[in-house]
A = this chain, B = another copy of it.
C-alpha cells in the first residue's frame, strides 16, 4: 500500500500514520520529495485490511498496489492447474465444451438437447434447474425435477453435468446430482454461498459477476479456495458496459489477464457474453485462439420456443458448425505450438 500525504501534512501526521502501520505488525517507509511525501507499506495485504489510513489527518489517499488473494494467484502456484471433473480434465491444454439449454424445461427438451450436445463432442451438459431471473414473473426453473432430469441425461449419454446452485440450502442437493456446481454471475459475491461450496468437494465453475473487476473475481475464487476446495474453474461471460447492442461486453482480454495473474483454468461463455446467437461462433473461435481452456454455449432443439435465453441459443445445425470449428482450431493451435497457456 502506498499512502499519499497532503502537501500540508505535518511531521506529527506522518508519525501517527507510521505508528498505526506498525501497530498491526507491518513496516513503513517514508519517501520525501520537494513537494510530496508518501509512505510505503510492505507486508501481508491481509494485515492491511485492518488499517483505515485514509481517515487519518494529513492523508490524501491510499493506493493498493498488491493483490489480496493468494491461493488463486500464479505467484503462489506457478504451474497452471488442471481441474479433474470425474475424469474430464480442464486446463493444461485440454479444451472442454459445456453445452445445453439455458434452462431445463422438460425431460424431452433436455434429452433431445443432450443427444445433440453429445454427438458433436462436448464433454459437459449444462442446463439450469434453478434460474435466477430479473423478473419474478419469468419462468423460474423446474428446480429439483430439473436436477433429476439432468442426472438421467448423464446416465443416458455419459456427459458430465454442470448446473447452477443459487443458495446455500441447495448446495447439498445439487451436489448429489451434478458433477460440477456453477456459481452464477449474480452470486459471484454471495460470500456465504462461496464458503459453502468451498467446504464441499465438487469442482466449481465460477462465473464472473456482471460488473466484477478481475481482482474481485479472483478474490471470489479465494473465498472458495480458502475453505479447502481448490477445484475452481473461472468463466468469463461478459461484463456490463455502456454498449447496448450486445447483451454484455465479452471481455476477451480477461483470458490473458487470468492466465497471467492466476493458475486457474478459464473458459468463455459467448452465449451470455453477446446475447445473440449470430455472434457465438466468432466469439467461440476468438476464445480458443486467445488461450481459453474451453467454452460454454447454449444450444436448444428449438430456440424460438425456449423459455429462457432463446435469442442467444444455437440451433442444432449452428451448434454442430461451431463445434467443428472449435475443435479444428484448438487442434491447430496445439500442433502449431501457438496455444497460449501462460503469459
- Residues of A whose CB lies within 8 Å of any CB of B are 2, 4, 7, 20, 27, 29, 31-36, 38, 40, 42-43, 45-46, 49-56, 61-63, 65-66, 68-69, 75, 132-139, 166-169, 186-187, 189-192, 195, 210-211, 213-216, 219, 222-223, 226, 239-246, 249-253, 255-257, 259-260, 273-274, 276-279, 281-283, 285-291, 300, 303-307, 309-311, 313, 325, 328-329, 332-333, 336, 338, 340, 343
Determine how close the nearest CB of chain B comes to the CB of A258; give it in whole angstroms. 10
Determine how close the nearest CB of chain B comes to the CB of A308; give it in whole angstroms. 8
C-alpha spacing A38/B66, complex, angstroms: 10
C-alpha spacing A134/B215, complex, angstroms: 9
Residues of B within 8 Å of A31, CB to CB, are 29, 40, 42
Determine how close the nearest CB of chain B comes to the CB of A301; give it in whole angstroms. 12
On whether A133 and B246 interact (CB within 8 A), knowing A55-B313, A65-B4, the answer reads no
Interface centre among A259, A278, A289, A336 (most CB of B within 10 A): A289
Residues of B within 8 Å of A20, CB to CB, are 304
Q: Which of B50, B245, B287, B336 contacts A257, CB < 8 Å?
A: B245
Residues of B within 8 Å of A282, CB to CB, are 253, 255-256, 259, 289-291, 340, 343
- What residue in chain B is nearest A26 (Cβ atoms)? B33
C-alpha spacing A7/B214, complex, angstroms: 20
On whether A166 and B137 interact (CB within 8 A), knowing A38-B42, A253-B273, the answer reads no
- What residue in chain B is nearest A131 (Cβ atoms)? B191
Residues of B within 8 Å of A288, CB to CB, are 289
Residues of B within 8 Å of A32, CB to CB, are 42
Residues of B within 8 Å of A46, CB to CB, are 135, 137-138
Residues of B within 8 Å of A255, CB to CB, are 282, 286
A219 lies within 8 A of B136 (CB)? yes
A135 lies within 8 A of B49 (CB)? yes
Determine how close the nearest CB of chain B comes to the CB of A161; give it in whole angstroms. 21
B137 lies within 8 A of A49 (CB)? yes
Residues of B within 8 Å of A283, CB to CB, are 252-253, 256, 290
Residues of B within 8 Å of A169, CB to CB, are 168-169
Residues of B within 8 Å of A328, CB to CB, are 336, 338
- What residue in chain B is nearest A273 (Cβ atoms)? B253
